[in-house]
Amino acid sequence: MSSTPEAGAAITDALVGRTQSIAHRLLCGAGCGSLLAYHQDPQVSIEFLAHGLTRSGRIVVACCPVPGDEAAEMPLTESIAVRLDIAKASCEPGVHIISSAVHLLGTLEWMPPQVSAQLLADDQLPPRVAVAVSHPHGRLGVIRTQRVLLHDSTGVTPMAFGTLLNAGTGMPFPTVEEEFDVFDAAMGLGEDALWNIADAIDDERIGGRICSRHSMTAGCPHTWNRIYCVDVDRYGLTLMTVEPTVTSTFFAPFDAPVDDTGALAAALQTLASRTAPAVG
C-alpha cells in the first residue's frame, strides 16, 4: 500500500495525540507513583503513593506514613524539591511489560490537615488520592512543575505541563477503572488478528508505525513467537511481538479517536477486518 502525505500526516497526528494521552492518563492516576525528596538530608523516598490531578489541574499525591517514618517528619507548608516517577505496566498477565513512564522534577508542599479535610469534603480530589487522605495517617501533597518527560515505546518526549493540561481537557480514556476492560476488548480479537495487524503495519499495507525494533541475543523461550498488547487508548493499539532474535513494537491508529468502550470495540473490529488475510 502506497503512503500518501495525508495518510502520513494522520499517523503523525495520532502519534502526537497518543503521546499526550498517555502522559495525561499517567498524571490522572494510572500506573504506580514514587517520590524522592532529593534535597532532604537524608533523602526521603516514598515508594507507594496515590496520585492524580484535581479538577483545577493540580498534581496531588497522598501517602499514609505512620508516626516516626521519614515521610511523616517532612515539614508542612514548605516547598520541598522532589522527583516524581510514575510507571505503568501492561495488563498482560503472563509477562511484565512497562508500557510507559512519566518523570518530573518539581516542588512538593504537604497540606495542613484542615486544608486536606476541606478538599476532601468538597470532592476536589481524585478517588484513590481521596481514599489515602481519608486514612488516619493520610497526608496530601501538591506538586508544582513546569515540564514532564514521557518515556514510552517511541522514546523520550518532553512536554510543557501547561500544554499537556490544555491538550488533556476532560476525562482520560481509558480511566484507571477501565484499563482491564479495554485490554480484554483488544485481546478478544484473538492472537491471529493481532499478528495480522502487526504484519500489516510491517508490510505497509495499512497506516501505522513501527515504534521500536531491537535485536535480541538472549531471552525467555516461553515468550518467543508471541504477541502482546502493550496498551490501548483513544488513539489506537500498541502491540509488541517477541521473536527469537528481535522484539518489535507497533502502533496501529484508529480511524478516529474513541472516548468510550462501545466506540473502542467498533474501532478494534474495523482494524481487524482491514488486516484480515484475503480469502480465496
Nearest to 35 by CA among 88, 71, 72, 73: 71
Residue 215 has pLDDT above 60, yes or no: yes
Peptide bond preceding 42: is omega within 30 degrees of 0, i.e. cis?
A: yes
Going from N- to C-terminal start, the domains of the chain cover: 9-169, 179-275
> Cα(101)–Cα(26) distance, rounded to whole angstroms?
8
pLDDT in tens, 218-277: 666 666 789 999 999 999 999 999 988 899 999 999 999 999 999 999 999 999 999 887
Nearest to 14 by CA among 227, 193, 201: 201
- Residue 225 neighbours by CB under 8 Å, 6+ apart: 242, 243, 244
Write down the architecture of domain 179-275 according to CATH: Alpha-Beta Barrel (3.20)
Q: Do residues 45 and 33 lie in contact, with contact meaning Cβ atoms separated by under 8 Å?
A: no
- Tell me phi and psi for residue 127, to 5 degrees: -55, -50
> Cα(234)–Cα(185) distance, rounded to whole angstroms?
13
Cell of 208: 501505522
Average pLDDT of the chain, as a whole number: 91
The CATH superfamily of 9-169 is: Electron Transport, Fmn-binding Protein; Chain A (2.30.110.10)
Q: Do residues 19 and 70 lie in contact, with contact meaning Cβ atoms separated by under 8 Å?
A: no
> Cα(227)–Cα(214) distance, rounded to whole angstroms?
15
- Per-residue model confidence (pLDDT) at position 2: 43
The arithmetic mean of pLDDT across residues 68-91, rounded, is 93
pLDDT in tens, 197-209: 999 999 999 999 9
**R_g of the chain, CA atoms, integer Å:** 21
- Per-residue model confidence (pLDDT) at position 171: 84
- Per-residue model confidence (pLDDT) at position 168: 74
